[in-house]
Amino acid sequence: MSDEKDIRKAAAEIAFGEDLHAEEQEAKGAGASVRSGRKTAAQDAVEKVMKARSKERPVVTEYIDNIIEDAMYLAGDRCFAEDESVAGGIGLFRGLPVTFIGHRKGRDLEENIRCRFGMPNPEGYRKAIRLMKQAEKFGRPVIAFVDTPGAYPGKEAEERGQGQAIAECIKTMSRLCVPVVTVFTGEGGSGGALAFASGDRLIMLENSIFSILSPEGFASILWHDGSRWQEAAKVMKLTARDIKDLGVCDEIIPEPEPEEMHEKRFFDTVADTIWRNLGPLLSKDEGELVRDRYLKLRKTGSKYGRN
For binding to other proteins (CB under 8 A), which residues are involved? 1, 3, 6, 10, 13-16, 151-155, 157-164, 166-168, 170-171, 174-175, 190-191, 194, 197-198, 210-213, 217-218, 220-222, 235-238, 242-243, 246, 248, 293-294, 297-298, 300-303, 306
CA 238 to chain centre: 11
Query: Alpha-carbon distance 28 to 22, whole Å?
Result: 10
In whole angstroms, how close is the CB of 159 to other proteins at the nearest point? 6
Q: Which is nearer to other proteins, 141 or 215 (CB)?
A: 215
What are the E-state strand segments in the chain?
Answer: 69-73, 86-93, 96-103, 142-148, 180-189, 201-205, 209-211, 251-253
DSSP-assigned states of every residue in 74-117: ----SSS---TTEEEEEEEETTEEEEEEEE---SSHHHHHHTGG
In whole angstroms, how close is the CB of 207 to other proteins at the nearest point? 17
Q: Which is nearer to other proteins, 92 or 227 (CB)?
A: 227
In whole angstroms, how close is the CB of 249 to other proteins at the nearest point? 9
In whole angstroms, how close is the CB of 110 to other proteins at the nearest point? 20
In whole angstroms, how close is the CB of 92 to other proteins at the nearest point? 29
Query: Alpha-carbon distance 195 to 68, whole Å?
Result: 22
Query: Alpha-carbon distance 204 to 98, whole Å?
Result: 20
Q: Which is nearer to other proteins, 262 or 302 (CB)?
A: 302
Q: Which is nearer to other proteins, 106 or 217 (CB)?
A: 217
Cβ–Cβ under 8 Å, residues 181 and 200: yes
Q: Which is nearer to other proteins, 16 or 275 (CB)?
A: 16
In whole angstroms, how close is the CB of 236 to other proteins at the nearest point? 5
In whole angstroms, how close is the CB of 190 to other proteins at the nearest point? 7
In whole angstroms, how close is the CB of 198 to other proteins at the nearest point? 4
Cβ–Cβ under 8 Å, residues 181 and 141: yes
Q: Which is nearer to other proteins, 64 or 176 (CB)?
A: 176
Q: Which is nearer to other proteins, 71 or 194 (CB)?
A: 194
Q: Which is nearer to other proteins, 93 or 152 (CB)?
A: 152
CA distances from 253 to 178, 205, 248, 270 (A): 23, 5, 15, 7
Q: Which of 20, 2, 18 is nearest to 10 (CA)?
A: 2
Rounded (5°) CA angle 306-298-133: 135
